[in-house]
């Protein structure tokens, strides 16, 4: 009985810490990264996280008060989704940017419409 008294709060604290340290991305961030990834893919350029970082952080003005910081975890997740796509889906995404955004939005933003 004494062990449960100490074990349960400790377990709750560990669960809360894991949840707190897990990356949480807003739908706006996901949509921005999907658009960037699909633009690079559609234009036939390198869609690696490094190329995405150059686009995202390169858009910051020197005088901007709120600079956009690159989220490598989200970019890596997009790469994972890309690699898991069937070759025909990848080809379709390369040819049409809208279908690329739709494919990624189904995975990362379920239930939301793509424009």
Quick one: average pLDDT of 87-97?
Answer: 88
Per-domain residue ranges of the chain? 26-58+66-108
Mean pLDDT of the chain: 85
* Pairwise CA distance, residues 98 & 61, whole Å: 28
Q: Which two tokens stand for residue 109?
A: 């933003």
* Geometric angle at alpha carbon 89, from 35 and 29, rounded to 5°: 20
Model's pTM, two decimal places?
0.77
Question: Model confidence over 22-71: pLDDT tens digits?
Answer: 778 888 888 888 988 888 888 777 888 888 888 888 888 888 888 888 89
Structure tokens at 40: 């690079």
Instruction: Quick: pLDDT tens for 39-50.
Output: 888 877 788 888
Measured distance CA(38)–CA(107) in Å, rounded: 14
């Amino acid at each position: 009985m004494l062990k449960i008294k100490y074990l349960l709060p400790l377990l709750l604290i560990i669960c809360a810490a894991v949840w707190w340290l897990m990356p949480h991305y807003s739908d706006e961030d996901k949509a921005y990264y999907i658009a960037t990834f699909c633009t690079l893919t559609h234009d036939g350029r390198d869609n690696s996280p490094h190329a995405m970082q150059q686009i995202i952080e390169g858009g910051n003005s020197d005088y901007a008060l709120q600079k956009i910081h690159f989220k490598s975890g989200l970019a890596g997740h997009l790469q994972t989704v890309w690699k898991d796509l069937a070759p025909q889906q990848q080809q379709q995404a390369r040819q049409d940017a809208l279908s690329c955004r739709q494919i990624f939005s189904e995975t990362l933003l379920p239930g939301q419409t793509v424009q």
